[in-house]
């Protein structure tokens, strides 16, 4: 169990004007409770609504918050890679999405099973999404398990606590939603232990998810195939 470690926290956002401020406030409160020192990095992936302006306003109010803007949307994977590249101040990196579907207090659950060397990933105890998203997630998890041998309950759950040295040991390339699977696969192959812990999940109260967009699904499949070809035999 880690007690009040120093944490670099970030959240990627795209058109989350109705969720961002509440999400940052919730996780800032949790970091004050569970972390020693911390920073908060908001990755605005080319939002076309007021998300970027809200992020800048949060940074103006709080010196612990900084914002990275992508001039245009580069994809979820690119947003995560940008977060890993900018949230570098402390020895552990923690991230979640800016959609308000997770609770910052569950950081305590991740820290409960963290030992400073392992990667801790959350899994949604009760997924608060529609049937279509649940089926899509099950199919994707099954494919990742079958093709790559990665037996993780919830590959795309965006509650992950990672030692900085684990991130420094790998090279992430994905721009799509395949990034979560690539992250776990590369850390597994680099010899880092991956542990799982249940976290709560909440229904969206504003905005809409882009995870069901056909273009993004095709991009994810394409990058999964490319990863399999490039890493054949591992």
Provide the pLDDT confidence category of residue 214 given band limits of 50, 70 and 90: low
Provide the pLDDT confidence category of residue 204 given band limits of 50, 70 and 90: confident
| Region 191-200 average pLDDT | 97
Which of 98, 121, 89, 133 shows the shortest CA–CA distance to 27? 98
Whole-prediction pTM value? 0.90
- Residue 161 token pair: 């606590």
pLDDT given for residue 9 in this prediction: 98
- Tens-digit pLDDT profile for residues 11-58: 999 999 999 999 999 999 999 999 999 999 999 999 999 999 999 999
Instruction: Quote the mean pLDDT of the chain.
Output: 90
- If you compute the radius of gyration of the chain from its CA atoms, what whole number of angstroms results? 17
For residue 95, what are the β-bridge partners?
A: 10, 160
- Residue 175 token pair: 């721009």
Structural domains present in the chain = 7-230 (3.90.550.10)
| Region 218-224 average pLDDT | 70
pLDDT given for residue 137 in this prediction: 72
Q: Are strands 119-124 and 7-13 parallel, antiparallel or unpaired?
A: unpaired
Provide the pLDDT confidence category of residue 159 given band limits of 50, 70 and 90: very high
Q: Give buried/exposed letters for 41-69 (b at 16+ CB in 10 A, else e).
A: bbbbbbbeeebbebbeebbeeeebbbbbe
Q: What is the DSSP letter of 11?
A: E
Supply φ then ψ for residue 174, to 5 degrees. -70, 140
Provide the pLDDT confidence category of residue 210 given band limits of 50, 70 and 90: low
For residue 195, what are the β-bridge partners?
A: 120
Residue listed under structure tokens 């979640």: 96
Contacts for 50-58 with beta carbons within 8 Å, 24 or more apart?
Answer: 50/17, 51/13, 51/14, 51/15, 51/16, 51/17, 51/20, 51/98, 54/17, 54/20, 54/21, 55/13, 55/20, 58/20, 58/21, 58/24
Spatial separation of the C-alpha atoms in residues 15 and 204, rounded to whole Å: 13
Provide the pLDDT confidence category of residue 162 given band limits of 50, 70 and 90: very high
Three-class secondary structure assignment of 61-72: HCCCEEEEEECC
Higher pLDDT, 203 or 199: 199
For residue 12, what are the β-bridge partners?
A: 43
């Amino acid at each position: 169990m880690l007690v009040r470690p120093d944490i670099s926290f970030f959240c990627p956002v795209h058109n989350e004007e109705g969720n961002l401020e509440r999400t940052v406030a919730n996780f800032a409160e949790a970091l004050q409770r569970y972390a020693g020192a911390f920073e908060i990095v908001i990755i605005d992936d080319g939002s076309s609504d007021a998300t970027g302006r809200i992020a800048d306003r949060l940074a103006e109010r709080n010196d612990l918050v900084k914002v990275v803007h992508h001039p245009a949307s580069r994809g979820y994977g690119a947003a995560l890679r940008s977060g890993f590249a900018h949230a570098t101040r402390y020895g552990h990196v923690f991230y979640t999405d800016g959609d308000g579907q997770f609770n910052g207090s569950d950081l305590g659950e991740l820290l409960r099973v963290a030992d400073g060397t392992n990667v801790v990933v959350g899994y949604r105890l009760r997924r608060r999404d529609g049937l279509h998203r649940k089926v899509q997630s099950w199919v994707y998890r099954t494919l990742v398990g079958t093709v790559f041998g990665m037996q993780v309950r919830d590959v795309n759950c965006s509650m992950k606590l990672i030692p900085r040295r684990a991130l420094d040991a790998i090279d992430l390339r994905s721009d799509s939603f395949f990034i979560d699977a690539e992250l776990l696969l590369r850390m597994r192959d680099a010899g880092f232990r991956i542990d799982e812990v249940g976290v709560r999940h909440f229904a969206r109260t504003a905005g809409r998810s882009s995870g069901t967009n056909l273009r993004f699904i095709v991009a994810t499949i394409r990058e999964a195939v490319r990863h399999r070809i490039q890493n054949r035999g591992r």
